[in-house]
Amino acid sequence: NATCGKRLDSIGVENTEDNRRAYRELLLSAPGLGKYISGAILFEETLYQSTSSGKKMVDVLNEQGIIPGIKVDKGLVPLSNSNG
């Protein structure tokens, strides 16, 4: 996805599904993360990804008391019959 891809590109890492998974694993498995956030909006791709040890990303969040959600919009599009 574009958002994660931009972050990977900024550090010179190729935007592949495996690199996005590794980046998300690094973020979501940070010790104590649940002390600071209560929910996380995930891209659809993340719902089906697992950590390198085989644990679902969603389960990693749940174990820290973080409620997972899903991003359902596909970005901005012109609204018909509007002036802006």
Closest CA to 23 of 63, 52, 54, 64: 52
User: Given this model, what pLDDT does residue 76 score?
Assistant: 75
Domain residues of the chain, as ranges?
2-70
Neighbours of 22 (CB within 10 A): 16
User: Given this model, what pLDDT does residue 84 score?
Assistant: 60
User: pLDDT tens per residue, the chain (84 residues)?
Assistant: 778 889 999 999 999 999 999 999 999 999 999 999 999 999 888 999 999 999 999 999 999 999 999 988 777 777 788 776
